[in-house]
Structure 1
Amino acid sequence: MQAVFLLLLVFVAAFAGLARRLKVPYPILLVVAGLLLSFLPSMPRIGLDPNLVFLVFLPPLLYSAAWTLSWREFQRNFVSIAMLAVGLVLFTVVGLAMAAGSLLPGFDWRSAVLLGAVVAATDAIAATSIARRVGLPQQVVDILEAESLVNDGTGLLALQFGLLMLVTGRTPSIIEGVGRLFFLTAGGVLVGLAIGAVVAWFERWVDDGPIEIVISILVPYAAYLLGDRVHVSGVIAVIACSMYMSRKSPEYMSPRVRLQTTAVWEALTFVLNGIVFVLIGLQLPYVIGQIGGMSRFVLLEYGVGFSLVTIAVRMGWVYGETYIAFLVRRWILKVPGERPEPRKLFVIGWGGMRGVLSLAAAVSLPYTLPDGRTFTQRSMIIYLAFCLILATLVLQGLTMPFLIRRLGLCDAENLNTEEQEARRVLLREALVHLDRNRSKDRDQSAMLGELIATYQRRLDAISTGPKEPAQGLIDRARRSDAILAVLQVEREALIRLRDEGQIDDEVLRTLQRELDLEESRVHTGSNVIS
């Protein structure tokens, strides 16, 4: 087992490095590499344990993905996210159930519903890993990431109902389904917020990097397991906890600890993501080995056809729901609104990538039914889920950059405008603080005057060209305490801008990291003139 784990780490490092050289999102290349490696005769068979995915990989990866979600954009796009995370999941289950029930041999309506439930949810791991690496417009990234996180909860609920219908033969009512969804979601949110509040309160009394890093790793597991223990959505609990703590982290986490924690989590999520995507590719022999009595050509037809139908179902919902909602608001409610932009809708529809969660859900299906009969459709469901993952990750992931360029959707302007305006506000706040201190402390007047001149040059440079490098300030600084005081003023202004909704969380994290690095240089004494 140890040798297999080390082998996976070697694969991850090697092929991720190759992906960087080829300028390809590393999840795609890792899946393809795992697929090719699975054909090697000496390659060990590595099965996918659903418990390993749900209990080991899923909590930290969900926590990491939710940490970068923008609360402001989540609120602004809430309707779109809800329609994708809830409405599209139900539409996918029904649409694929109808298609599978009529096209796939041996599938009755119960097993067809179960197939739709297995692949209904997009994968947060895949969406987060790929969306930010292909230059998607920020609004589209926000919607895809939030959808892929929230619909993990609704997708697992659909899977529960599918298993209930398969095992008992009873179809849950609409009231039961809505009530169950509300209970799981609301309960998960409450559990996540409760854990987040307790941990955030405790963190205020701790300022030790290793301790806080260990706590941050334990938190997603605690939220997931506690949510599961009280029979609510552990997925939603992790997401709510992560978003709450991300929102509060600028207030309780020191700059030094924040830099350390960020570095550890970047490495952790990279390793976990890499292992997950390699494992997906390595499942081919396991998947094919379970299906007998069908030629490879027939299996290929089923896999390609199912993937195309699933992509078409998502496209149909994204366009249909958006335009219907727009017409209802405009003609019936008489509410003015922006006309939907077909280019962005196409990218949202094309971005519905599946990942390891769908495969783990398929592998977790029972081998036998309560009456002792073999669940013969299980192997086909696993195979079709595997085909859909390959099609959406590889086909859609590789073509996404080309589509963005062809559709002209490079949309960094709005975020850059917010960032530049935030820089102006921070520099103005720093200048006011320094000028006030200079008038109070004549002994430090010369040094503070030098800092004021430096900040003024940086403020002037925002309108005329690139910002003066941060170390320029440190090189000219003579008093560390004066610099630290200015940095604290800038941080307070930055949090205020975030809380007032003037900047996005992404802008806050970018500028906050710059301030943390400046403070780190001060503490280490690098580039400081005494």
Structure 2
Amino acid sequence: MMGSGVHAVQAVFLLLLVFVAVFAGLARRLKVPYPILLVIAGLLLSFLPGMPRIGLDPDLVFLVFLPPLLYSAAWTLSWREFQRNFVSIAMLAVGLVLFTIVGLAVVAGSLLPGFDWKSAVLLGAVVAATDAIAATSIARRVGLPQRIVDILEAESLVNDGTGLLALQFGLTMLVTGRTPSVIEGLGQLVFLTCGGVAVGLAIGAVVAWFERWVDDGPIEIVISILAPYGAYLLGARMQVSGVMAVIACSMYMSRKSPEYMSPQVRLQTTAVWDALTFILNGIVFVLIGLQLPYVVGQIVGMSRPVLLEYGIGFSALMICLRIAWVFAETYVAYALRRWVRKLDVKPPQPRQVFVIGWGGMRGVLSLAAAISLPYALPGGRTFSQRSMIIYLAFCLIVATLVVQGLTLPWLIRIMGLSESGHTNREEQEARRVLATEAIMHLHRTRSKNRDQSPLFQELIDRYQQRLDAMPLERERSATGLIHQARRNDAILTALQAEREALIRLRDEEQIDDEVLRTLQRELDLAESRVHTGSMIHP
């Protein structure tokens, strides 16, 4: 890094924050996903004379950036959609990783200078997994249909574990010369995955139990930041997948959060995590672009045009391998369901299949894995392919983030893949159920208390107006307020009835987790307005 000591680190950190703020603001003006522009900006900045050397430490990625970003990405995953798309996710997260590694082992020896099949396996392990950070940061910003977003995000989270396992096997073969058996590989995969999930669920259960006894925003925010680090480090300590531990912990706590988080704490926590993930994401993507001088400087004996040719050819090969696997896997799975299991399923839509294949973006995890490779092997042999692996990983990251990321909105538009109706129908039905539940609760409360004041009738009338005016529009302020304390109590109990109905709809799988979070935020804001004295309508 630039200089040494605390002041040097502070200067670099502030410089990165300035880059993130400036170029993310520019991306907003240009209506471009900010991760793409930040990578391009990092590339351009790396050419400026006098630009400080800002290296990418693998430990910084794996131990500082990765846990909270994985946690944030997994928090928004829908458990219902994860279950429904499990076969597709597993085939991408496990099958595609293996297919990529085998494909490179077969062809890399004849295409890349100095690569044997073991080096090719290591290269495949480095670049096989898509990046959860990139998928979450870009997929939701380019207008992808929700089902495709769900598949890409879940794939990118799960295949982090399979990719790192493949990297471990690749290093074992390279260092020891021993090739693990298929049984050994599957056993390790099951152990690392199940062990990581068990650790994550245990951490999540303990944290959720503790937070039921705490209703303090700052404390719960600190706990939420500690949770991913605790799950990751404990998973690594127990020699299971820290990645899977973080994902399991986050999904468990996300599902339980409506029960143990108060509305005020939930609003505060969401705001803090939005800012935290934006900062970490921004720094990561700028750092990717700034690595160009380091990556190119590692390779000697090749001209720039030849390097560029290798980078473009390798990136094109990886993209084609993914698209080929996605199409083959999708249609084989359809044939098995249709002709073997005799299920009445709809045929795949080639447009959606192609977009899933095109959406396999790589990110900082691949680059960190490549940089973490050893310089030398036991016996004093130099690992001569290390520099080329880092360079090819960098080229693939830039190609998938920039080229595929920028073309995704265009593909969605020309293929007519806008798919907003499904979620809107679920959300609209959920709004209807919540309003109905609130009306029934108010009627029961009025009858129980034998309260004939106009308070309950006014609130019932307003909820009825919401039902009659679907889709819901923001109500205007009413005049003629009645006694505020009693009115607020009635509103709060009605809002609680809505929350209970909302959780019930989620648990019965009538609505998606995304719909729950959307409506839950509205209810939290409504309760917040009650407590601040600005709430005058249900």
TM-score, scaled to structure 1: 0.98
**Alignment check: 8 A CA contact 1:117 1:162 kept:** yes
Distance 1:233 1:63 in 2: 14
Indicate yes or no: 2:70 matched with 1:62: yes
Task: Give the C-alpha shift of residue 440 in structure 1.
Answer: 3.4
Equivalent residue, structure 1, for 2:103: 95
Equivalent residue, structure 2, for 1:148: 156
Indicate yes or no: 2:451 matched with 1:446: no
Task: Give the C-alpha shift of residue 474 in structure 1.
Answer: 10
Post-superposition CA distance 1:82-111 (Å, at most 9, x none): 000000000011112222111001001111
Select the residue among 340, 363, 378 that pairs with 1:355: 363
Post-superposition CA distance 1:350-397 (Å, at most 9, x none): 000000000000000000010101111000000000000000000000
Equivalent residue, structure 1, for 2:211: 203
Letter in 2 for 1:283: Q
Indicate yes or no: 2:465 matched with 1:457: yes
Task: Give the C-alpha shift of residue 326 in structure 1.
Answer: 1.4
Equivalent residue, structure 2, for 1:166: 174
**Alignment check: 8 A CA contact 1:185 1:232 kept:** yes
Task: Give the C-alpha shift of residue 26 in structure 1.
Answer: 0.2
Equivalent residue, structure 2, for 1:127: 135
**Closer, same or farther: CA 473–136 of 1 in aligned 2, 3 Å:** farther
**Closer, same or farther: CA 523–163 of 1 in aligned 2, 3 Å:** same
Select the residue among 508, 515, 518 that pairs with 2:526: 518
Distance 2:286 2:233 in 1: 26
Letter in 2 for 1:485: T
Letter in 2 for 1:468: E
Equivalent residue, structure 2, for 1:76: 84
Aligned-partner SS, 1:105? coil
Equivalent residue, structure 1, for 2:61: 53
Task: Give the C-alpha shift of residue 337 in structure 1.
Answer: 1.8
Equivalent residue, structure 1, for 2:165: 157
Deviates more, 1:344-353 or 1:326-335: 326-335
Indicate yes or no: 2:201 matched with 1:179: no
Select the residue among 390, 394, 399 that pairs with 1:391: 399
**Alignment check: 8 A CA contact 1:451 1:473 kept:** no
Select the residue among 32, 35, 39 that pairs with 2:43: 35
Aligned-partner SS, 2:453? helix
Distance 2:495 2:436 in 1: 12
Select the residue among 222, 225, 228 that pairs with 1:220: 228
Equivalent residue, structure 2, for 1:298: 306
Distance 1:452 1:177 in 2: 61
Indicate yes or no: 2:197 matched with 1:189: yes
Deviates more, 1:298-307 or 1:318-327: 318-327
Equivalent residue, structure 2, for 1:263: 271
Task: Give the C-alpha shift of residue 475 in structure 1.
Answer: 9.0
Letter in 2 for 1:45: R
Select the residue among 12, 26, 48 that pairs with 1:18: 26
Indicate yes or no: 2:355 matched with 1:381: no
Indicate yes or no: 2:474 matched with 1:469: yes
Indicate yes or no: 2:112 matched with 1:107: no
**Closer, same or farther: CA 52–470 of 1 in aligned 2, 3 Å:** farther
Indicate yes or no: 2:510 matched with 1:505: no
Letter in 1 for 2:333: A
Deviates more, 1:245-254 or 1:473-482: 473-482
Equivalent residue, structure 1, for 2:124: 116
Distance 1:268 1:286 in 2: 28
Task: Give the C-alpha shift of residue 444 in structure 1.
Answer: 5.3
**Closer, same or farther: CA 472–420 of 1 in aligned 2, 3 Å:** farther
Task: Give the C-alpha shift of residue 434 in structure 1.
Answer: 1.2
Task: Give the C-alpha shift of residue 443 in structure 1.
Answer: 4.3
Indicate yes or no: 2:93 matched with 1:85: yes
**Alignment check: 8 A CA contact 2:478 2:536 kept:** no
Equivalent residue, structure 2, for 1:244: 252
**Alignment check: 8 A CA contact 1:114 1:159 kept:** yes
Deviates more, 1:162-171 or 1:438-447: 438-447
Post-superposition CA distance 1:118-170 (Å, at most 9, x none): 00000000000000001100000000000000000000000000001110111
Select the residue among 460, 469, 488 that pairs with 2:496: 488
RMSD between aligned residues: 1.3
Query: Which structure 2 residue ranges, 5 or more long, are not aligned?
Result: 1-8
Distance 1:456 1:332 in 2: 51
Distance 2:475 2:135 in 1: 33
Query: Which structure 1 residue ranges, 5 or more long, are not aligned?
Result: none
Equivalent residue, structure 2, for 1:418: 426
Runs of 4+ in 1 over 6 A off after TM superposition: none
Equivalent residue, structure 1, for 2:3: none
Letter in 2 for 1:36: L
Distance 1:147 1:397 in 2: 17
Post-superposition CA distance 1:432-451 (Å, at most 9, x none): 11122223345453011111
Task: Give the C-alpha shift of residue 336 in structure 1.
Answer: 2.7
**Alignment check: 8 A CA contact 1:451 1:476 kept:** no
Distance 1:52 1:150 in 2: 21
**Alignment check: 8 A CA contact 2:526 2:535 kept:** no
Post-superposition CA distance 1:442-466 (Å, at most 9, x none): 545301111111111111001xxx4
Aligned-partner SS, 1:459? helix
Post-superposition CA distance 1:460-517 (Å, at most 9, x none): 001xxx4231564799674111100000000000000000000000000000000000
Q: Tell me how many residue pairs correspond in the alignment.
A: 526
Letter in 2 for 1:498: R
**Alignment check: 8 A CA contact 1:471 1:527 kept:** no
Letter in 2 for 1:346: F
Task: Give the C-alpha shift of residue 319 in structure 1.
Answer: 0.2
Equivalent residue, structure 1, for 2:12: 4
**Alignment check: 8 A CA contact 1:96 1:309 kept:** no
Distance 2:338 2:469 in 1: 45
Letter in 2 for 1:456: Q
Task: Give the C-alpha shift of residue 335 in structure 1.
Answer: 2.8
Give aligned-pair identity as a percent: 80
Distance 2:454 2:81 in 1: 44
Distance 1:427 1:367 in 2: 64
Post-superposition CA distance 1:14-72 (Å, at most 9, x none): 10011011000000000000000000111101111000000000000000000000000
**Alignment check: 8 A CA contact 2:326 2:357 kept:** yes
**Alignment check: 8 A CA contact 1:276 1:356 kept:** yes
